[in-house]
Chain A
Amino acid sequence: MYILGISCYYHDASAALLKDGVVVAAAEEERFTRKKHDTSFPLNAITYCLKSQRITMGQVDAVGFYEKPFLKFERLLGQHVQMFPKSLKTFVSAMPSWIHEKLHIRKSIKKLGYEGEVYFIEHHLAHAAASFLVSPFKKAAILTADGVGEWSTTTWGIGNEKEIQLLGEIRFPHSLGLLYSTITAYLGFTVNNAEYKVMGLASYGDMDKKTNSYYEKLKQVVDIKEDGSYTLDLKYFKYHYADRMPSQAMEKLLDGPTRKKETEVAQRHKDIAAALQLILEEAMTAMLKDLSKKTHYQNVVLGGGVALNSVYNGKILRNTPFKRVWIHPNPSDGGSSIGVALYIYHTILGKKREKQHQLSHAYLGPAFSTEEIQQFLDARGIRYSKFKNQQELIASTAKMIFDNKVVGWFQGKMEWGPRALGSRSILANPCNPQAKELLNEKVKHREHFRPFAPVVCADDALKYFDCDKPLPEITDFMLMVYPIKKEWHKKIPSVTHVDGSGRLQTISRKQNHLYYEVIKAFGKLSKIPILINTSFNIRGEPIVCTPADAYTCMMGTGIDCLVMGNFLIKRSDNEQDQWNSEHDAKD
């Protein structure tokens, strides 16, 4: 039985395919269209999912959409009515896309040649399902938090076997996600894209509630009750009627106008980011403590974009009574295509949850065979060499990284979700003190304050990182930030953030044999089996998908070589294709 899940039209459009309840393919549309956070109907992602199983739409048994479009439209109209006449401009700009496409999702699906049923579930139910139904838990408390779905912005509930029940909600416009986005906009970063930069910036600010004056100021904006539920004072916001998020009252409160992009990030901005992170953590901890009290469950799953806050995720088990936590590798709207498909399979159709339904890795995207890669290289006249065998590939890659080369790593199926997890990664030496600057300036073109992430084999993690014990499964998805043990700070400077933490990815041999072996081989050379793992893209572009994307990215950046399948491609051997990616780097 095949079930196709679709999410689109807000941010991160995606498609996912289940075969007998097992996720067999999933990808975001942006990887194919090369338009970051592409929201459009995910035609390319659907085509990939079907092709991966060699089926047509006619063979799909059910299709699901990740929200109820008419309920969302009703909320939008309610907003415009309440905010009349201030909402005229956003009404005029938003309505055409609703009239022409967003209200016709069933028609768009039928156009693909599909005759069967289309199911629609509530937005936060899709978030809850995406995390709970592929988690290792039979029973768990559920917390979802994002910008907004239909009306809900935060929900809590319980998952029990194949059933999910959401029992409480906080409704739009009160939203932790939108609060975070508003401050992201205030700090001069792009909304729905750069929230993670604010999270990284927070570590440079004053994380002490008593001394950071912006903490008290931001507390005027949000009222948090003892149970973690919260409301916003709308005088500080404009997003419910304008295309701008912070109001003048917010600018006055935070001692200055919205920061202009690419201008200097002052200490004040860092302190505001820190205050915001403190408030988010305060609300989340209170909500989770209350959830534990209400449900008496030991396990918790999180969903929605707020669950990408890996700095907070790493503190959940230390700050709340929960014993285990699980989060989908793609917990924001992109991941909801899997959520709705699973909900149809297990909850609507009543199919039992089995061990094989758990999501133990995120390698769900397109892969390219040796022949396909070689065909591409030959057709483009690219100079390359071929590794004799896997041992040579592993040893050479480890040696190049040890020699401080920046290596593009393109292997197997593309990752699902926003993180590169060893299929489309850039790898570098974390012991090299210059690696961070080199990667930031020559490859990624990103802000100096943003840290790089370490990848470590799961069996070595506890030696270098102060992780929860036992190690939560979701460190495999780079969803947890943990302190790096003090004695290693100076030895791996390029992955040690200013506060001594690292957003680590753990990897097991079973998950990704080649990647695992390269880390171990590097460890033999350096005595530290840790690598820098950063996504294979330049700033403002989606992670690479095809051999052509990977080659173009390498030739436009400071990446020294590309290990693609069994092939080694050196930038210095192909100088005629070089270009300057710095020119094109966006937010």
Chain B
Amino acid sequence: MGIHKKKKGNVALFFVGTQEGIKSFGESIQTLVNTILLTIVYLGGVGTAWLMCKISGRTFFTGKPQQEAKTYWEPLDLKKKPIEEYRRQF
């Protein structure tokens, strides 16, 4: 009885192990595909945007202290808005 149980346990273990192996293989493939696709998007999309910004002189931020500036505060006017504005995610 005990041996029989043990055998069943081994078979079950084999299937669980196989399932886990397939799952982890699938995840690895997914990560690989994601990486390839995102690299293409990065080189194509982000690269093109970078080139356009270079040509037009647009920057998203500066990285050097400006000795002549009096303040680094930038004006902001964040106050109560119409309710629809809060339904937006941007």
Contacts and interface: CB of A to CB of B under 8 A. Distances in A.
B53 A82 contact: yes
Contacts of B73: 156, 168-170, 227, 229
A120 B76 contact: no
A5 interface: no
22 contacts: A71-B90, A78-B61, A79-B60, A81-B60, A84-B46, A85-B47, A88-B39, A88-B42, A91-B42, A105-B89, A121-B86, A155-B76, A155-B78, A165-B77, A170-B72, A173-B63, A231-B66, A232-B63, A233-B64, A234-B63, A235-B63, A347-B80
B88 interface: yes
Contacts of B77: 165-167
Nearest to B51: A84
A117 B87 contact: yes
> In which size bucket is the chain A interface?
35 or more
B90 A166 contact: no
A21 interface: no
A223 interface: yes
A70 B90 contact: yes
B79 A164 contact: yes
B71 A165 contact: no
B89 A69 contact: yes
B89 A92 contact: no
Contact of B61 (A71, A122, A171, A226): A171
Nearest to A221: B65
Contacts of A103: 89
Interface of A: 68-71, 74-75, 77-82, 84-85, 87-88, 91-92, 95-96, 103, 105-106, 117-122, 124-125, 152, 155-157, 163-174, 223, 225-227, 229-235, 240, 344, 347-348
A70 B39 contact: no
A44 B63 CA distance: 41
A443 to B, nearest CB: 37
A218 to B, nearest CB: 13
B78 A82 contact: no
B22 interface: no
A118 B87 CA distance: 6
Contact of A119 (B72, B87, B90): B87
Contacts of A95: 38, 41
Report whether over half of chain A's contact residues are helix, strand or loop; otherwise say mixed: mixed
Contacts of B53: 81-82
B60 A78 contact: yes
Interface string B31-43: 0001100110111
Contacts of B1: none
B70 A225 contact: yes
Given A69-B89, A84-B47, A121-B86, 4 more contacts: A85-B42, A120-B86, A156-B73, A163-B80
Interface residues of B, number: 38
A227 B72 CA distance: 9
A348 B82 CA distance: 8
Contacts of A157: 76, 78
A152 B76 contact: yes
A103 B90 CA distance: 11
B2 interface: no
A66 to B, nearest CB: 12
B83 interface: yes
Across chains A and B, which 4 residue pairs bring their CB atoms closest together, nearest first? A234-B63, A223-B65, A70-B90, A78-B60
Contacts of B41: 95
B88 to A, nearest CB: 7
A92 B63 contact: no
Interface string B3-25: 00000000000000000000000
A122 B78 contact: yes
Contacts of A231: 65-66, 72
B50 A82 contact: yes
Contacts of B49: 77, 81, 84
B57 interface: no
Nearest to A350: B80
A13 to B, nearest CB: 18
A226 B63 CA distance: 20
B69 A169 contact: no
A91 B38 contact: yes
Nearest to A349: B83
